[in-house]
């Protein structure tokens, strides 16, 4: 098992009291496997993965367990409550993330090259030149034309789809064991969405990277994920193989979601 999440709970302390965002969520991801987490906005799906990565704001309280296989002889790493230093060595290296809006997820003040190489140099401890070469190779792998020149570009000089490709190239550049994609296609044009999903699938096949795909769209999960977790109101409604979820949904909520998928 690559990632084993057990009884994960997230509470936010706000002015008007405590808000329970995630209430005892459990799921698992196997090596190289693709798992989808589906639910409407506010169902706690994004908060769950951000909690794993230790990326929630200071007013969040996280409990439960999330064990990540270390990828070497050592036993699994407990992510919840792990020291910041430990988490930082996991982020970007063992587990990478891409986000919903590539417009704002890339730093507008830095060149693409700088943003890609700082990650490579941090985790792979490579020289500047090796990092640049690797960055170009990754950009080519996500089919960005004239990759060498793109390194000098700023994010605003690229199209939305192009930016998300850069995010994917960056996320996979350190060969993580798990890629977490949080609504990776929601902010993009419909025509670009499929290309992005294809790119992810293609690269995953080469690297055997596991995928945790978070989306509100069951249709996206259908094409990508072997297993699906359905979430609502901070809890898991049901989980199983994607086929099972589609053909024999157990929960009424899942049936509602299925009914909402447009059919041609």
- Say whether residue 93 binds another protein (CB under 8 A): yes
Any idea how long the chain is? 264
CB 58, min distance to another protein, A: 9
User: Smaller CB distance to another protein: residue 101 or 238?
Assistant: 101
CB 85, min distance to another protein, A: 9
- Say whether residue 108 binds another protein (CB under 8 A): yes
User: Smaller CB distance to another protein: residue 121 or 233?
Assistant: 121
- Read off the tokens for 25: 């969520």
- Site residue total, another protein (CB under 8 A): 30
CB 250, min distance to another protein, A: 34
- Say whether residue 90 binds another protein (CB under 8 A): yes
| Binder of another protein out of 45, 91, 165, 227 (CB under 8 A) | 91
- Say whether residue 96 binds another protein (CB under 8 A): yes
Binding to another protein by CB under 8 A, coded x per residue (else -) over 188-227, reads ----------------------------------------
Whole-Å CA distances, 130 to 96, 106, 120:
20, 22, 9
- Say whether residue 107 binds another protein (CB under 8 A): yes
- Say whether residue 30 binds another protein (CB under 8 A): no
SS3 call for 172: helix
Binding to another protein by CB under 8 A, coded x per residue (else -) over 152-191, reads --x-xx---------x--x---------------------
Strand 95-98 relative to strand 60-68, pairing: unpaired
CB 33, min distance to another protein, A: 21
SS3 call for 75: coil
Stretch binding another protein (CB under 8 A), from 17-25, 65-73, 98-106, 133-141:
98-106
- Say whether residue 129 binds another protein (CB under 8 A): no
Per-residue three-class SS string for the chain = CCEEEEEEEEEEEECCEEEEEEEEEEEEECCCCEEEEECCCCCCHHHHHHHHHCCCCCCEEEEEEEEECCCCCCCCEECCCCCHHHHHHHECCCEEEECCCHHHHCCCCCCHHHHHHHHHHHHCCCCHHHHHHHHHHHHHHCCCCCHHHHCCCCHHHCCHHHHHHHHHHHHHCCCCCEEEEECCCCCCCHHHHHHHHHHHHHHHHHHCCEEEEEECCHHHHHHHCCEEEEEECCEEEEEEEHHHHHHCCCCHHHHHHHHHCCCC
| Binder of another protein out of 3, 105, 229, 257 (CB under 8 A) | 105
- Say whether residue 89 binds another protein (CB under 8 A): yes
Residues that bind another protein (CB under 8 A): 53, 55, 84, 87-93, 96-97, 99, 101, 104-110, 118-119, 122-123, 154, 156-157, 167, 170
């Amino acid at each position: 098992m690559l990632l084993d999440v057990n009884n994960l709970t997230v509470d936010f302390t706000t002015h008007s009291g405590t808000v329970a965002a995630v209430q005892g969520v459990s799921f698992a991801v196997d090596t190289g496997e693709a798992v989808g987490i589906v639910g409407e906005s506010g169902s706690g799906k994004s908060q769950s993965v951000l909690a794993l990565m230790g990326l929630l704001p200071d007013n969040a309280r996280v409990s439960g367990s999330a064990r990540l296989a270390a990828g070497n002889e050592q036993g699994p790493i407990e992510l919840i409550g792990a020291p910041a230093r430990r988490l930082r060595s996991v982020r970007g290296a063992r587990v990478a993330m891409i986000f919903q809006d590539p417009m704002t997820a890339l730093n507008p003040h830095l060149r693409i090259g700088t943003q890609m190489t700082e990650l490579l140099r941090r985790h792979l401890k490579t020289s500047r030149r090796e990092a640049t070469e690797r960055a170009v190779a990754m950009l080519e792998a996500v089919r960005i034309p004239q990759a060498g020149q793109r390194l000098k570009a700023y994010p605003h000089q690229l199209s939305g789809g192009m930016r998300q490709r850069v995010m994917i190239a960056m996320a996979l550049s350190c060969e993580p064991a798990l890629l977490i994609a949080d609504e990776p296609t929601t902010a993009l044009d419909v025509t670009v969405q499929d290309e992005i999903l294809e790119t992810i699938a293609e690269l995953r096949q080469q690297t055997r990277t596991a995928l945790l795909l978070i989306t509100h769209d069951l249709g996206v999960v259908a094409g990508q994920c072997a297993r699906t977790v359905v979430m609502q109101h901070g809890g898991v409604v049901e989980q199983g193989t994607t086929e099972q979820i589609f053909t024999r949904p157990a929960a009424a909520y899942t049936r509602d979601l299925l009914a909402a998928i447009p059919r041609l």
